[in-house]
Structure 1
Amino acid sequence: MASRSALPFDVRIMNGLASALFLSVALAALGTAVWWVAHHPSWSLGRIVVDGEVEHQSEEGVRAYLAPQLRGSFLTLDLQEVKRLFETLPWVRQAVVRREFPNRLHVTLQEHEAVAWWGEAGGGKLVNRQGAVFEADPDPGHAQAESWPELVGPEGGSDRVYALYRQLQPVLQPLGQPLSQLELGASGHWQARLAGGTQIELGRGSEAELLARAERFSSTLPELMTRYGGRALEAADLRYPDGYAVRMRGVQTVSDDKAAAALAARVRKK
């Protein structure tokens, strides 16, 4: 019997082509079978189960919103794409999606916990507890929404503004008015507003410098207010290197040429 190597060259070529053709047909047939199985009606998506933090979501609402956007069967659905779609829902911070045989998707949601407005109150942008901005509207009658502060700053700066807000709030607490607005300007200048309308110029500087100014102000202001008969405080400027300036309702400046400054009093560091 002749060895394979002894076969004529053209015969070996034909055998190789036949083997390759047979393998291609077999792979195509296998692929067709797999595709047919994966797309068989028995693998149609039957149900989406939603759990986790679902205060602002419902399984019925989620299914009605997402079902028309899902492409493929239970086996062929792209779970990363499904995850992305869920995370486009208002209030959804994170979604974990997994298949549950035979035809069910299980979705665990983690919602944003709103702590402040980003920009004007009611503007549709909120800040969560991680300092990130998301778009959503509070539920009608949401009691806490009325007490959320307004945080303002450059794009991408929400975490920095929220971090300073959290530290300033207890420092300014002795003033008896909650911190209702904190703004970081484009030039790096900080400005705060209390719930009663008092404007506070914090100026520029590191976080430690800003907190030191606020601490000096809140710890000495009560004595100053007593000295001036407890008049309402309208504004304060903490940018002085050795103290701060305040403007109080009904307190006049000494001369007309200084009236524009509206400097009512100045407290020096002790």
Structure 2
Amino acid sequence: MQLLSRKQIRFISGLTFLLCVLGSLLYAAFAVRDWLKDEQRMPVQVIEFSGDFDHVSLTRLERLIRKSQPGSFFELDVNEVFRLVEAQPWVYRASVRKQWPNTLKIYLVEQQPVAQWNEDMLLNPYGDTFEASAGELTLPRLYGPGGSEKTALEGYNAMKSLLATSSMAIAELSLSERFAWQMQLKNGVELNLGRQEFIDRLQRFIDVYPLLTKQEKPVRYVDLRYDTGFAVGWRIDDNKRS
């Protein structure tokens, strides 16, 4: 039987020691991983919201986040939370970050509705649509073909600024398939502005409306689709009609 030399014995001893160290480190790594994954040891205790918002339900949003991310602080996927938060109807923009040791910080920018769009959507100031309930909000109603949201909003803003010089305001504004404008004012008067020079035509109406109010009959509609002049429809009192 051949005996091992001292050199071989030292090599085997060193290798054995190295394997023991590596095994210990590997065991420790798995133990730490399991410890970090343990929600009971490292839970996300606080979800902190900040920003200006009136319509976002923080209780509902927090419940959705905790349901989608049930793991520990270290397992929580910030990108997934970001996508979940920005998918909410009233959220325009969001930022999400983790703060050691147990906090998730979320900053929200809420959608700002400026008009209803085709009855089933809302418009923000940039002409983007989003699905949400207007609730008790009093918003002008805008209508138009798909893809015309920004055009309709730009037209509305221009006409709103022009009407600001008078006591009149827009209740409803429609843009047809041929991009002709029709408007209903809050006082009930309907305006047909056509496709071209609609701002000039609206100004013509503003200039002449004080004269129209002096008539015995209230104005029902004004058709301004003429190079010069306009046509007026009058409201007929049902009592007098009978």
Into which bin does the TM-score normalised by the smaller protein fall? 0.7 to 0.9
Would you say 1:166 and 2:154 are equivalent positions? no
Q: 1:60 to 1:170 in 2, by over 3 A?
A: closer
CA RMSD of aligned residues (A): 2.9
Aligned to 1:188: 179
Q: 1:243 to 1:70 in 2, by over 3 A?
A: farther
Of 209, 219, 225, the residue aligned with 1:239 is 225
Q: Distance in 1 between matches of 2:223 and 2:174?
A: 15
Residue 160 of structure 1 deviates from its aligned partner by 2.1
Q: Distance in 2 between matches of 1:136 and 1:201?
A: 30
Q: 1:173 to 1:236 in 2, by over 3 A?
A: farther
Residue 107 of structure 1 deviates from its aligned partner by 0.4
Q: 1:68 to 1:152 in 2, by over 3 A?
A: same
Residue 37 of structure 1 deviates from its aligned partner by 6.0
Aligned pairs, number:
212
Residue 171 of structure 1 deviates from its aligned partner by 2.2
Q: 1:156 to 1:250 in 2, by over 3 A?
A: same
Q: Which has the higher mean CA deviation after the structures are superposed, 95-104 or 56-65? A: 56-65
Asked whether the 8 Å contact 2:38–2:71 carries over to 1, the reply is: no
Q: 1:138 to 1:119 in 2, by over 3 A?
A: same
Would you say 1:93 and 2:92 are equivalent positions? yes
Q: Distance in 2 between matches of 1:75 and 1:156?
A: 43
Q: 1:157 to 1:73 in 2, by over 3 A?
A: farther
Aligned to 1:221: 209
Aligned to 1:127: 123
Asked whether the 8 Å contact 2:78–2:97 carries over to 1, the reply is: yes
Residue 43 of structure 1 deviates from its aligned partner by 3.5
Residue 97 of structure 1 deviates from its aligned partner by 0.3
The alignment partner of 2:154 has SS state of: helix
Aligned to 2:13: none
The alignment partner of 1:136 has SS state of: coil
Q: 1:69 to 1:182 in 2, by over 3 A?
A: same
Aligned to 1:54: 53
Asked whether the 8 Å contact 1:174–1:219 carries over to 2, the reply is: no
The alignment partner of 1:129 has SS state of: coil
Asked whether the 8 Å contact 1:97–1:108 carries over to 2, the reply is: yes
Asked whether the 8 Å contact 2:82–2:95 carries over to 1, the reply is: yes
Asked whether the 8 Å contact 1:199–1:236 carries over to 2, the reply is: yes
Q: Distance in 2 between matches of 1:230 and 1:166?
A: 32
- Name stretches of at least 5 consecutive residues in structure 1 with no aligned partner: 1-21, 252-270
Residue 243 of structure 1 deviates from its aligned partner by 2.8
Q: TM-score, normalised by structure 1?
A: 0.68
Residue 249 of structure 1 deviates from its aligned partner by 2.6
Asked whether the 8 Å contact 1:38–1:75 carries over to 2, the reply is: yes
Aligned to 2:198: 210
Q: TM-score, normalised by structure 2?
A: 0.75
Q: Distance in 1 between matches of 2:153 and 2:73?
A: 42
